[in-house]
């Protein structure tokens, strides 16, 4: 492990945890030192713990398969063995928040896929190409937690990736209102057609009680917010109205987007803005950064989940089907891979940026 940061994966046996394990198996900067899950899996080898429920197309990484599964609640033992952790536990929000704070107070940075701290004002919620500068709020968080190197950072809901980056690239034209319908893959609920057979030949609205629509409407405001006096103050515009639908697709969240602008761009200006947009991960050539970040496809009927979700190793945002609209100014379709860019992959890229900027260092 010489030269690499030692990483722990909390919730390593779940679908997103498995994605973390597969992505980190050959990572040039990070190496998995600890896999952890609930007490029921603790003590087993990782290979045995995920036997019969490994959901990643590639094989279980041989070296990681041999690791013993730790108990994620054993903060002292795990924090003592790693430089930082990724968190993908399946717990209540309150329990998740307490666990993440405990790791941070044990001087172990947490890069979380969970939602527990998304609205904590001094916890940055980062899409690396959009708001990596929000990491500045970590200093205020450390004062609150009483830490020197520990902190928590989170990534936003997976559905946002399918349209927010495309809108972000157009902010010079001042988007004023959006109507968004997201069509979300089964893996976003941790399911497959085999484990959720009632979704075969079916489409269903995601219940409001799940909070998906609210996340799609509110979380972009934090991404576009500003750091003021040690807190992130959410933006007030654009207004977003969202509807979220579950579809019988394995991976890939799609969004149908309708948008109006204060300064209405031409079609050529929109396409140029998408194609020219680059973020700091691309400029720094971070290991997981897609080149380019946004990909515009001119072909009819694109993007498509099956054809396009893996572009940029599943880290690119794919847009297409751009047309003028009678009620709004423009409409388009966006696509992202929800368990890669939208979950584990986005978190790994966030950790790469935090390392590059000196927030995550070896103990």
Active-site amino acid positions? 158, 253
Q: Which two tokens stand for residue 47?
A: 């290979």
Residues 85 and 347: their CA atoms lie apart, in Å, by 11
Residues 348 and 356: their CA atoms lie apart, in Å, by 12
Residues 244 and 183: their CA atoms lie apart, in Å, by 6
φ and ψ at residue 115, rounded to 5 degrees:
-95, -5
- The answer to whether the bond into 238 is cis (omega within 30° of 0) is yes
Give Cβ neighbours of residue 165 (< 8 Å, ≥ 6 apart). 127, 129, 130, 293, 294, 317, 334
Cα–Cα distances in angstroms (integers) from residue 320 to residues 162, 304, 339, in the given order: 11, 10, 21
Pairing mode of beta strands 253-261, 330-336:
antiparallel
Q: Where are the alpha helices (DSSP H) in 235-304?
A: 267-276, 280-284
- Of 340, 133, 357, nearest in space to 253 by CA: 340
φ and ψ at residue 11, rounded to 5 degrees:
80, 35
Residues 16 and 11: their CA atoms lie apart, in Å, by 8
């Amino acid at each position: 492990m010489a030269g690499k940061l030692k990483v722990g994966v909390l919730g390593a046996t779940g679908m997103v945890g498995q994605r973390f394990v597969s992505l980190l198996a050959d990572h040039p900067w990070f190496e998995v030192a600890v896999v952890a899950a609930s007490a029921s899996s603790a003590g087993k080898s990782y290979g045995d713990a995920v036997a019969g429920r490994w959901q990643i197309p590639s094989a279980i990484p041989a070296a990681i398969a041999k690791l013993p599964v730790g108990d994620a609640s054993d903060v002292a033992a795990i924090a003592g063995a790693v430089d930082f952790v990724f968190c993908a536990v399946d717990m209540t929000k309150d329990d998740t928040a307490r666990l993440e704070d405990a790791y941070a107070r044990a001087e172990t940075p947490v890069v979380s896929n969970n939602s527990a701290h998304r609205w904590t004002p001094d916890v940055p919620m980062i899409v690396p190409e959009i708001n990596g500068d929000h990491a500045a709020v970590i200093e205020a968080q450390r004062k609150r937690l009483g830490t020197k190197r520990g902190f928590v950072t989170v990534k936003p809901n997976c559905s946002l990736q399918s349209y927010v980056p495309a809108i972000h690239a157009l902010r010079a034209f001042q988007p004023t209102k959006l109507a968004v319908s997201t069509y979300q893959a089964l893996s976003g609920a941790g399911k497959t057609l085999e484990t959720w057979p009632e979704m075969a030949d079916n489409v269903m609205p995601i219940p409001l009680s799940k909070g998906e629509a609210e996340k799609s409407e509110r979380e972009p405001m934090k991404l576009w917010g500003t750091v003021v006096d040690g807190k992130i103050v959410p933006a007030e515009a654009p207004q977003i109205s969202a509807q979220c639908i579950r579809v019988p697709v394995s991976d890939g969240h799609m969004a149908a987007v309708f948008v109006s602008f204060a300064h209405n761009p031409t079609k050529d200006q929109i396409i140029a803005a998408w194609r020219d947009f680059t973020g700091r991960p691309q400029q720094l050539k971070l290991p997981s950064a897609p080149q380019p970040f946004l990909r515009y496809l001119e072909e009819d009927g694109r993007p498509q989940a099956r054809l396009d979700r893996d572009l940029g190793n599943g880290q690119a945002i794919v847009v297409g089907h751009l047309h003028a609209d009678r009620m709004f100014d423009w409409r388009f379709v966006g696509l992202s891979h929800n368990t890669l860019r939208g979950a584990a992959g986005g978190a790994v890229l966030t950790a790469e940026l935090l390392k590059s900027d000196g927030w995550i260092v070896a103990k």
